[in-house]
Structure 1
Amino acid sequence: MNIRHIFPLLLLLFIFQPFSEAAAQKENSPDQLVARGKEFCRNGDFEYAALSWEQALSRLEPEKETGMYMNIVVHLAGAWQSLGHHQKSLKALRSALPVVEKAGNRYHKAQFFSALGDLHLSLGNADKADKYLEKALDHARLTKYPRLLTSILTDAGNLLATDGDYEGAFAVFTESLVFADQLKDEPELKADPLNNILHVTSLAGDVQEIVAAYWQSALLASFLLGTVFVNRELDVMFDV
């Protein structure tokens, strides 16, 4: 091959190389990596999801893209927690704390502190769980987002139940149910608060409350499943 044939090939390579590099960069942009991580997560592949989100974080400027940064950190911590890698989850959240403390978006802050509180709850660190869930709830109340409040109140109720404060847990789960009830298009979100109310009332030994909570759960299940959900043996079982 003489130089006349080589030159056009070099010219084509010179022209198309920037385009191929740009395409590769776009494919590995934070948005693409986040989307890829979500797809892995939907398929139950939490490890690859975590790796995708770690790559996304490495391409962000936390001070400039704070909302996206905080959102990815929460997803990353959740993925590691799902795999049982609690220390990796804790490391991810701790590393983001300085950025989170300076952030102004209360929704993202509520999500972050909720994730941190939930992680400490799973690790048995009740005091730290209480500290961060309280922070999460303070921010969440100011956002007035029912879905967010439902989730955080559920975690707060679980913490109280773990400490044996069933009356307090009952009150918090009831408040969670109130917010879940505001999400008219997502009636299934009532299931967790109702089941939690049933659980704490059973632990407290209040038979009348147990029966009432059971029937609320049963009626909800009937609505969601489109079936008649009846257990006539309940009254006999609890002797009421």
Structure 2
Amino acid sequence: MRALAVQAAAWAGVFAVAQIVALPGAIAIVGAQAALAAALAWRMHRERWWIVLHALFSPLGALALGSGVDPRWWLAALVATMLLYWGTPGTRVPLYLSGRAAVDAVDGLLRSRGARSLLDIGCGIGSVLAPLARRHPQVRITGIEAAPLPWLIGWLRTRTAGNARVLRGDFFAAHWRDHDLVYAFLSPHPMAAVWDKARREMRPGSLLVSKDFAVPQAKPTDTVTLADGARLYLYEPAGPAPTRTD
């Protein structure tokens, strides 16, 4: 809703200016709206990619209207985009895909820690879940994804794996306490809330792994630099596992 409000406010501003100053043609009007929308998004401290989207929204809409393409194709593209990025305006978490290097690193963590369960929050199309389910048939693997299309792809990729399941929903509403390792590849925006939930629910000795985005208020237990230059931040939100004395 805030995205629509920004676009509406930008158009209102342009029309107000047009009552005072004559704008030379449709291109100038659309350009002025795009610039104002981007400025408003920047003023609201939105992420850089949101600012770019606001700047491109009206120009792309104008091009679509003048392209002569059947409007049903544009409608189909809009529906596909909504299914792919469902919830992104609210969560500010776009679809990111973990690469092979991240999968290999998490694979190593599962082995070294003897983990029996993995939770991937915001699992996308299952780019981590699917290969790890094949490599670790003894590990219980769960993914949670809000967007319908990535969820469906992830579900299809793991449907034959007896040890994996992909759920559709809000990962903040799920319970994390039953998992030895929680993996996240999200964005900077939710990391403080992720940390708060991890501290409340994760067990001593369990591991929170965040790809590329550090928790702002916590120091990682360790960091791992991947072959592709990305970085994993490792945290033990509830502290290390108790030391056995017997």
Considering fraction of residues, name the structure with more helix. Answer: 1
Do the structures match in fold with TM over 0.5? no
**Greater Rg, structure 1 or structure 2?**
1
What TM-score does the superposition give when structure 1 sets the normalisation length?
0.31
Higher strand content, 1 or 2: 2
Structure having greater relative contact order (Cα 8 Å, sep ≥ 6) = 2
TM-score normalised by structure 2 residue count: 0.30
